[in-house]
Structure 1
Amino acid sequence: MRIELVTPSPPDLFDGNRVTALRWERILTGLGHEVEVRNEYSGKRCELFIALHARKSLASITAFRDRWPEAPLLVALTGSDLYRDLPKNAEVLKVLELATRLIVLHRRAVLELPESARSKTWVIYQSADQPDLKLDPPEATFQVAVVAHLLPQKDPFRAALAARKLPLASRVEVHHAGRAFDQAMELKAKDEEKKNRRYKWLGELTHPKALRLIASSHLVVIASEYEGGSNVLSEALVSSVPVLVSRTSGLVGTMGDDYPGYFPVGDTTELARLLRRVETEESLYTLLKDRALRSAWLVRPEQERASWQELLHEVSFRAVAQRSFF
């Protein structure tokens, strides 16, 4: 099939949406399809249209649907679609109606949708490739990785603030990779680095370097206020690196209700307590590592590929039927 995949993320920004779009391009190409990734709908003929982000891709979605009313249209819902815009945003509600199928990135996301949209919703967990080489974390410090752009919804400094509360004997160092999108956030990161001996801001890293940071750390912290599905979580799991994560639907949807590494959103004190326990209690560290291994099957590349293959098989008859409309 000829597939056009639209993401609002610019080509030079490796945020979650761009990483997801490029991974899906590889998967769909590997399944034998012709895929073009763009920022907006080209207006050209295609047999399947996929849009990442309902609200930000609204113009492309409506343009495609107006031109090809019967063609298959898949819309992947992001964290802001699910947890900020629903249930009242009229633009997102319109997209739910226009889409042939909706894609969500964890099982609990379905519960955020109106009843009328749930039957056409497909769950596809985001996968990550295992590192080519086994990378050992440093021995002199307990390295904690934070891979998050400096955006409010990512709560990017929560781990740094928690590290401030640790006792002098702690060896925790927070290594934070992420882009600052404005001068205020850049100054905040630099100021935190000056005042907090446990915090290092690395700026924006290339995707391969971010993967190496994760794989070479003792622990990953994800403090997001909401997540539609976390690429960083998938990358940590396949690298067998334990995680401490905020108790949000998007993260619980992958790790399960009883995961012992949750902290409440924005709770610096609880995160500091968990950091100290994970650093000093081998039994807890081992438990988190074991749970990471148990959850890793959900985010294996072959699992995501199989999910896409099944979804495309389900909608392929539409691509055949719609050819008479071009």
Structure 2
Amino acid sequence: MRVVLGPMEGVLDHLMREILTNINDYDLCVTEFVRVSDQVLPDHVFHRLCPELKQGSQTKSGVPVHLQLLGQHAKWMAENAIKAAELGAKGIDINFGCPARLVNKHGGGAALLKEPNTIHEVVKACREAVPSHIPVTAKIRLGWDNPEDCFDVVDAIEQAGANELTIHARTKTGGYKASEIRWEYIDKIRQRTSMPLIANGEIWNFEDGQRCIETTGIDSLMVCRGAFNVPNLGNVVKHNAKPMPWDEVVELLIVYSHYEMKGDKGLYYSNRVKQWFSYLRQQYPEADALFREIRTFKKADDIVRVIEQYQMKLAS
């Protein structure tokens, strides 16, 4: 089995990739998307979202990191794919699945599921621009509102020469509702394409992973939201490990809190650690009480102090 740590805009940053790949047997990571419009972006934009480019496009634990691009203009997507490759990206992933309203309003992400021809042009341009040894992959949903549209989209991507495709088994309008998951469509796609596929959506534990494999016929899985609910989800899904106990989660929160975040720490830490708590609370009842203690604080130091004091009480 292969398990991929997927991207989550504004949540799964390089620090989180570092922590989660250090404690899990992930096979691959994909970054948050680099938004491409009508220019070749400067180096610092790529390095900000993917500092792993400076260490061989992999995390410190050795897990390869592929850089994701989002945009609808084939020329500029190709030019930025070239830039990413020159900076050392081990793979280029193209986002056709983001359901965010602002992204879709500007014609990016899942909005392109209504335009298979544009998807074809973007993937083809990137594949032709990037050296052949660097994989060019894509991520999609099943369609905008009709899952039957997935077949035209997949065909467009395959004909464009993509090396692999990740399929989030919901439509854009299906959002993240569990009732909207349609793993069976991934099986139908598998029977129609020769492209390697990765299945994504509603994989929260080992049993979900096994049911997804059984339903789709695919043993490559991507986890995203669940990796925040259960920090060792990669090992849970891949090796049937037990979910990380709460005291180890608290230790991980402190490790995350003490990471050297340079200029980001004061700006983003409090929001991101609170976002993480919103996921942890779904798996660990204890997280709710700790979250109530930190939710009013805005400064990193105050939050870290509360978590450290909590850990001391937990150990006593």
**Bigger CA radius of gyration:** 1
Q: RCO greater where, 1 or 2, for CA within 8 Å and sep 6 or more?
A: 1
TM-score with structure 1 setting the length: 0.31
With the length of structure 2 as denominator, give the TM-score of the two structures.
Answer: 0.32
